[in-house]
Homo-oligomer: A and B are copies of this chain.
Amino acid sequence: MSYFEHHVFFCCNQRPEDEACCAKHGAQELQAYAKSRIKALGLDGAGKIRINKAGCLGRCDEGPVLVVYPEGVWYTFIDQEDIDEIIDSHLVGGKIVERLKLA
């Protein structure tokens, strides 16, 4: 069994001004939002859900991106509404959000 049921990594890398980069699309703020929402739901901790910051995940052109392990599902997102849908549908409900999923 995985140490965390879902381990989520937000790309929070910051690139130079003229390059594509998740951090320019609010990734850090939305990571903080997701973390606080999971905590408020009482779903953080071992055996449950962890929301992490990560360095560059290597998919800059498709960003902002996050990845959910161990299932290895990648998402892009725009705003809190998208993050809420990923939390409610996937992390809590176990149903992948197809409209935000990356190949």
Residues of A within 8 A of B (CB): 2-3, 7, 9, 12, 45-46, 50, 52-59, 67, 69-72, 74
Contacts and interface: CB of A to CB of B under 8 A. Distances in A.
Contacts of A70: 69-72
A35 B5 CA distance: 27
Copies in the complex: 2
A52 B57 contact: yes
Contact of A69 (B53, B55, B72): B72
Contacts of A53: 54-55
Given A7-B67, A9-B52, A52-B9, A58 B46 contact: yes
B52 A3 contact: no
A55 B57 contact: no
